[in-house]
Amino acid sequence: MGTGEGGPGEGGPVRKVPVMGTGEVGGGVRIGRGHEGYPGGLPYDTEAPYYAAPDTELIFHVSTHLSGDVTQKWKHIGNDEVHVVWSEHSKPYRRETIATKFCDVLIVLERADSKMFRVRVETVSALEFGPLYDGALVGSEELAELVRLTVINASRAYRLAHKNHVRPLRHREHVFAHDTMRHMKKVRLSDAINALYIPTMTA
């Protein structure tokens, strides 16, 4: 799920995660030793909103949290199939602001008044998902959760529309197997048996 920085048209203030706070779409985590969940390809020590449920993991790429220059930020954001944009510009946000062949789903959030937000949803191909839809007006208290649910469902709809997609649990199985093998080391059979039956005492 991607977010980034830019301006509609020729420029202007655009924040890619709403002023409601990134922590409301997911708990804030720092990628590294303390985070055991999905890192989303983010570099070590990067902060990001993260959400996890028994069958789902979600991490947001937030441009203002990413290190490096604009090109490096675009590499993370541009490859995401779902983009969420918070815009305070008077002109409508344009998809071309971030030049990418991805961004199959674009969700734009604009303030309608002091308590309501207007939602604009654009898709490259015909996809069905919700709960948010193009033209919806949403209260500030419900916005964060509805954005998170819509992002999850949009990502699933996008993946299911492709014949070569990998189901989420199958992908998690692959990631788990890859990481497990990466941390394994060869030991003698006798040492492995001893480790099973004779607990190792540590000071």
pLDDT tens digits, 118-177: 999 999 889 999 999 999 999 989 999 999 999 999 998 988 888 787 777 787 788 788
- Gap between the Cα atoms of 127 and 158, Å rounded: 7
Residue extents of the structural domains in the chain: 20-79, 81-163
Q: What is the pLDDT of residues 1-28, one digit of tens each?
A: 453 323 333 333 333 444 445 557 878 8
137 C-beta neighbours (distance < 10 Å), count:
10
With the C-alpha atoms ordered 114, 65, 69, 73, is the resulting torsion angle positive or negative? negative
Q: CA nearest 88: which of 13, 21, 139?
A: 13
* Reported CATH class of domain 81-163: alpha beta
Residue 201 pLDDT: 59
Task: Confirm if 46 and 30 have CB atoms less than 8 A apart.
Answer: yes
Distance of CA 184 to the CA centre of its chain: 29
Secondary structure (DSSP) of 82-103: EEEEEE--SSPP-GGGS--S--
pLDDT at 186 over 90: no
Residue 94 pLDDT: 76
Residue type for 138, please? V
Residue 202 pLDDT: 56
Residue 4 pLDDT: 31
pLDDT band at 38 (very low <50, low <70, confident <90, very high): confident
Task: Confirm if 31 and 10 have CB atoms less than 8 A apart.
Answer: no
Q: What is the pLDDT of residues 66-117, one digit of tens each?
A: 877 777 777 777 778 898 988 888 788 777 677 677 788 999 999 999 899 9
Residue 15 pLDDT: 37
Q: Over range 45-72, report the average pLDDT.
A: 83
Tell me the sheet residues that pair with 49: 28
Residue 180 pLDDT: 80
Phi, psi of 95 (to 5 degrees): -55, -35
Residue 22 pLDDT: 52
